């Protein structure tokens, strides 16, 4: 599989993405500077990494969404190519209108870094098809703006079409406000577009894939992607 990792000024999880896709999964993984106008030939997955692109100026992800490379990421998504956005990458995909909604400041006002549990809500996606329905996995979060928000009518649409891929939950899979770290509506941790080829999530699966470093709760997403292409 060929993976492109767009790198913006202020990206700081690009090396985690390169390590997970390149070193751990053994995929052909190529960093792509934001000023490039074309993804590498044959790109199958675009991994938009976390960080603080453009210093979070204006709004998180707002300036990165306008970067030259994003036009080709949009073309890739429109033609059915896979796009995974993590943390700031999720914010960028929302600002680029590849996904609905916005990520507001955490309800607590604080930057939160913690291990959280996620429940898989969709197992028919290229990102989740190696997972079992309702499975719970543990991955870290590290963000100050992860409070997913959408106007009530659009939120109802998102839920009705099964657009929620992952929800924050207890270690045994229970859903509820107590298990939502950041105030996100309906405990939403990750969503997908209508077509199911673009996924954005606040937690960092790419930081939980290498047994030499720590737990491997995020591996399911990468194994799913590996079985897709």
Partner 1 sequence: MKVRVSVQLKPGILDPQGKAVEQGLHGFGFEVEHVRIGRLIEMDVPGTDPVDVKAKALAMCEKLLVNPVMEKASIEVL
* Options 88, 106, 128, 192; binder of partner 1; rule CB under 8 A: 106
Q: How far apart are the first and last CA of the chain?
A: 7
Judged by CB under 8 A, the chain residues 107 through 126 that form the site for partner 1 are: 107-109
What is the size of the binding site for partner 1 (CB under 8 A)?
20
DSSP 162-200: T-EEEEEE-TT---SGGG-SS--GGGEEEEE-TTS-EEE
- Our CB check for partner 1 shows the closer of 63 and 131 to be 63
Q: Based on the residue annotation, tell me whether 87 is a catalytic residue of this protein.
A: yes
Contact present, 117 and 138 (Cβ < 8 Å): yes
Distances (CA, A) of 227 to 19, 93, 131: 19, 24, 11
Phi/psi at 218 (5° precision):
-85, -5
Q: Based on the residue annotation, tell me whether 94 is a catalytic residue of this protein.
A: no
At 228 the three-state DSSP class reads helix
The reply on whether position 149 binds partner 1 by CB under 8 A is yes
Q: Which stretch binds partner 1 (CB under 8 A): 20-28, 54-62, 72-80, 217-225?
A: 54-62
* Options 40, 183, 215, 226; binder of partner 1; rule CB under 8 A: 183
* Options 11, 53, 128, 147; binder of partner 1; rule CB under 8 A: 147
Query: Which pair of tokens denotes residue 153?
Result: 């009518």
Strands (E), the chain: 2-7, 28-33, 45-48, 82-86, 102-104, 112-120, 136-143, 147-149, 164-169, 188-192, 198-201
**Closest separation between CB of residue 57 and partner 1, Å?**
11
Judged by CB under 8 A, the chain residues 64 through 103 that form the site for partner 1 are: 66, 94-95, 100-102
**Closest separation between CB of residue 106 and partner 1, Å?**
7
Q: Compute the Cα dihedral for 154, 157, 161, 167 and give only its sign.
A: positive
- Our CB check for partner 1 shows the closer of 25 and 69 to be 69
Write down the catalytic residue from 13, 21, 60, 87: 87
The reply on whether position 62 binds partner 1 by CB under 8 A is yes
**Closest separation between CB of residue 101 and partner 1, Å?**
6
**Closest separation between CB of residue 86 and partner 1, Å?**
20
Q: How far is CA 78 from the centre of its chain?
A: 18
Q: Based on the residue annotation, tell me whether 41 is a catalytic residue of this protein.
A: no
Question: Which residues sit at the interface with partner 1, rule CB under 8 A?
Answer: 58-59, 62, 66, 94-95, 100-102, 104-109, 147, 149-151, 183
Give the catalytic positions in this structure: 87, 204, 206
């Amino acid at each position: 599989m060929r993976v492109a990792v767009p790198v913006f000024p202020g990206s700081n999880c690009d090396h985690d993405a390169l390590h997970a896709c390149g070193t751990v999964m053994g995929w052909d993984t190529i960093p792509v500077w934001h000023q490039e106008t074309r993804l590498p030939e044959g790109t199958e997955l675009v991994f938009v990494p976390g960080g603080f692109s453009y210093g979070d100026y204006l709004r998180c992800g707002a300036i990165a969404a306008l970067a030259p490379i994003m036009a080709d990421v949009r073309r890739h998504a429109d033609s059915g190519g896979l796009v995974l956005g993590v943390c700031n990458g999720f914010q960028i995909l929302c600002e680029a209108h590849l996904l609905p909604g916005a990520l507001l400041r955490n309800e607590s006002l604080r930057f939160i870094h913690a291990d959280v549990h996620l429940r898989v809500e969709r197992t028919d996606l290229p990102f989740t098809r190696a997972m079992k329905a309702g499975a719970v996995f543990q991955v870290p979060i590290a963000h100050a703006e992860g409070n997913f928000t959408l106007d009530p009518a659009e939120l109802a649409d998102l839920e009705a079409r099964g657009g929620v891929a992952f929800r924050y939950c207890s270690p045994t899979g229970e859903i509820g406000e107590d298990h939502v770290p950041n105030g996100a509506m309906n405990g939403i941790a990750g969503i997908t577009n209508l077509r199911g080829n673009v996924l954005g999530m606040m937690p960092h699966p790419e930081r939980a894939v290498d047994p030499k470093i720590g737990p491997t709760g995020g591996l399911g997403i990468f194994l799913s992607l590996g079985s897709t292409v």
